[in-house]
C-alpha cells in the first residue's frame, strides 16, 4: 500500500537528473540535481567527481584554484589592496627556517637577498622555532649567536638591509649608536619627508619657520605638538628645509643674571 502511494505522489517521482543517481531532488533552485551533485557542480563546474577542475589561478607559478576574477584568494586579496601580484612567494610552514639554517654558516661576496615576503620597509619576515620576527636578526643569531646585552641590534656592513640583504658575512651585533652611524655613512638614514613618522613636508616646515604667528596657533593649524614648532624655529629640526633662511621673528636677548 505504501509503494502504491509513493508512485502516485508527485514528490516521490522527483529524482536527481544525473544518470545513475537515485537521490531525491533538492528544492527547484538546485537545477534538477540532488544536494551532492548540485554542490559538486557549483564547486568544480561538473557533476563527475573523477574530473579535476582546471580553473586555476592565472598568476604564473600559482597552482591554486580560482576564487574570483581568475585569481585565487591570496592574489585576489593582493589585487584589491593594490599590491603587486607577482611579489615574493608565500612561504610554507618551516621553509623560512630551513632556508636560514642552510645558509647561516656560508661565506661569500655581495649581498644575499631574502627570497620570501618582506615588510613595507624592505626587511624580510621569517619564523624561527615557532617565533615570528625579522629575517636578518634570525640570520645573525644563527651565524653569530645570541645578541649581547650591550649590542642588541643586527647591523649591516653593506647598508642594504632595507633591500632585503640577509648575508651572514654582512651582519654583526651592534649598538644603537653604531647602527645610526652606519646609516649615516651609507646614506640610508631617513631625513625629513623620507621618514615614515614625518607629519610635515619640507614646504610646511618652511612655512612654520617663516610664520609670525604664535607657536600654539601654528601647532594647531598643522596638527603637531608645540615642541615641534619650537624645534623648527630654533633650528633643532628640519635643518635641510630651513637652511639659508632668515627668521622674520626678532631675536630675544638673554636676560642678565
For the full predicted model, state whether its pTM sits above 0.95.
no
Q: Which conformational region is residue 85 in: left (phi greater than 0), alpha (psi within -120 to 50 degrees), or beta?
A: alpha
- Are 140 and 184 in the same domain? yes
DSSP 8-state class, residue 2: H
| Residue 21 lies in domain | 2-44
Residue 237: name the closest of 208, 212, 214 by CA: 208
127 domain-assigned: yes
Report the C-alpha gap between 157 and 173 in whole angstroms: 11
12 domain-assigned: yes
End-to-end, the C-alpha distance of the chain in Å comes to 118
248 domain-assigned: no
- Are 80 and 100 in the same domain? no
Q: What is the pLDDT of residues 141-196, one digit of tens each?
A: 999 999 999 999 999 999 888 889 999 999 999 998 888 888 777 766 666 666 66
- Are 119 and 151 in the same domain? yes
- Are 202 and 155 in the same domain? no
3-class SS shares of the chain: helix, strand, coil, % to 5: 40, 10, 50
- Is the confidence at residue 13, as pLDDT, over 60? no
Total structural domains within the chain: 4
Q: What is the pLDDT of residues 40-63, one digit of tens each?
A: 777 666 777 655 445 777 887 666
- Report the CATH number that the domain containing residue 138 is assigned in CATH: 3.90.75
State phi, psi for 124 to the nearest 5 degrees: -75, 150
Amino acid at each position: 500500500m505504501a509503494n502504491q502511494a509513493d508512485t502516485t505522489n508527485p514528490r516521490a517521482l522527483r529524482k536527481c537528473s544525473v544518470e545513475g543517481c537515485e537521490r531525491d531532488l533538492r528544492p527547484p533552485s538546485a537545477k534538477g540535481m540532488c544536494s551532492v551533485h548540485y554542490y559538486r557542480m557549483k564547486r568544480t563546474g561538473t557533476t563527475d567527481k573523477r574530473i579535476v577542475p582546471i580553473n586555476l589561478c592565472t598568476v604564473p607559478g600559482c597552482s591554486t584554484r580560482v576564487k574570483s576574477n581568475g585569481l585565487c584568494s591570496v592574489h585576489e586579496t593582493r589585487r584589491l589592496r593594490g599590491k603587486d601580484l607577482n611579489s615574493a612567494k608565500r612561504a610554507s610552514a618551516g621553509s623560512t627556517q630551513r632556508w636560514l639554517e642552510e645558509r647561516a654558516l656560508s661565506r661569500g661576496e655581495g649581498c644575499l637577498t631574502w627570497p620570501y615576503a618582506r615588510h613595507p620597509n624592505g626587511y624580510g619576515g621569517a619564523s624561527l622555532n615557532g617565533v615570528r620576527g625579522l629575517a636578518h636578526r634570525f640570520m645573525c643569531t644563527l651565524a653569530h649567536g645570541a645578541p649581547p646585552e650591550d649590542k642588541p641590534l643586527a647591523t649591516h656592513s653593506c647598508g642594504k638591509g632595507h633591500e632585503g640583504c640577509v648575508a651572514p658575512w654582512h651582519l654583526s651585533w651592534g649598538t644603537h649608536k653604531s647602527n645610526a652611524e652606519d646609516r649615516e655613512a651609507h646614506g640610508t638614514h631617513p631625513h625629513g619627508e623620507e621618514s615614515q613618522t614625518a607629519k610635515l613636508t619640507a614646504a610646511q616646515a618652511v612655512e612654520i619657520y617663516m610664520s609670525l604667528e604664535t607657536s600654539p596657533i601654528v601647532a594647531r593649524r598643522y596638527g603637531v605638538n608645540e615642541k615641534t614648532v619650537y624645534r623648527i624655529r630654533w633650528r633643532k629640526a628640519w635643518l635641510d628645509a630651513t637652511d639659508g633662511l632668515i627668521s622674520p621673528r626678532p631675536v630675544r636677548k638673554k636676560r642678565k643674571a
